[in-house]
Structure 1
């Protein structure tokens, strides 16, 4: 018995007429009649009672019809699900997200767009720092991760650069430098300040960038308390324990006791945003996400260019 034979039977049962069923199926009436009789012989039951003007189901035929429809529906669902998976329209995707990434409007925007375009893909967001993201990708616990730095010397991972944004300084609200409203500060003006650093071990990109820029500006920064996350660092700034250099998009996080000021001069501190994945990952879901994000980044950059 083949699936097409079940379809033949269902159409005959619905039409209650062999000739009309044959026309609907696009075949001749004699082969269809032969197939129905062969099906009855195979099952060793009578499925139809022949009448002068058609056929009608027997009791056994009604039971067989119910199960035939269920079998065909299950097959169609299985086929459709398999094809969706092959197109990357169904499956799972775990995205590593650094604590600073969601504050950039680009990141939540592309995740919403992906969910709208691929609603059957199950998305999981995993907040992590850089080292944790890299370990998650290599262990296949994560499929893809937004990073705040580029990868170098990695054979198994690849990072696609997406965007850059300026870094700003977060100051306690009562700080003397905070009174310079609307004025960008030269980095050298921060030489006497206490720097609150964050994620120094697990996400060292911002720390290393800040240290290098300060040295280039002519001073070695005085380090204060170290925070595990950027949000913790901002809490320390709000408490008046120092200042911190953060991506400009963090200004979207309204926190009492903090003001932000831009930085000017040389060197210009820039926070990178990239998307990392396993090199050669065969997942179509991952490929779809990568393609969507890279296209969205090009559009975002073009929009920024027009705005300036």
Structure 2
């Protein structure tokens, strides 16, 4: 049976529930000196924080299992008092909270978190989710991740134009991981990347050859275009020996989520979704009745300050 997981925005009316989650989540961690600030929270202090910036509450099968407080400071939104109940860990709650926080932070370019250096597993948790350390003031470690950008795309021409714009920010060694259903427009987006990079030859789906290489006509990086749809796992991706060209090329992996992340320590993660049901085929519909939503997330140290 599939878990019913949902995350919603909350205010001070949920202070008691958030406090309960914070106390359980932070209380289960190893003792710290000085103790975690979260353990000094009261219902009144949580209510004040929620009144100022709001928060997020995750429910699993109707039960509250995770929460965080949103704290806008300058050009960033800090994720405060991030906690997931022990019984709900490993069931997608943390990822859902982070995704919802990214959506709530639209208008701010950065998400930030503060972790304790005595808890390396916690620091590693944030690092695995694309956060990069930007400051360390013992015993605190600050990490940052860009907020995704969202684009509504109505036509194949618009999708190619978006790909061409993204290409202007790419350089040799960059990895682009493309995700989207069949017909979402992944290859169309890659064609735009090819246009922006000035590569030779038509960019088509590499489904049956797994990978194609396109050289630039103007001295720029090659475009290596990989289709991971038929690959059985990360090991088969490794067998393609892509690391021999990664440093000199822009590598695009369609269907790469969950497979290609270890190819580089940074990546552009791009998700394309239909905003309405549309026709089959790899191009977006030819009119504004089948638009796509393109989410672009910059992950890793390559993108930490750009």
Structure ID, larger Rg: 1
Q: TM-score, normalised by structure 2?
A: 0.22
Structure with higher helix content: 1
Greater RCO, 1 or 2 (C-alpha within 8 Å, sep 6+): 1
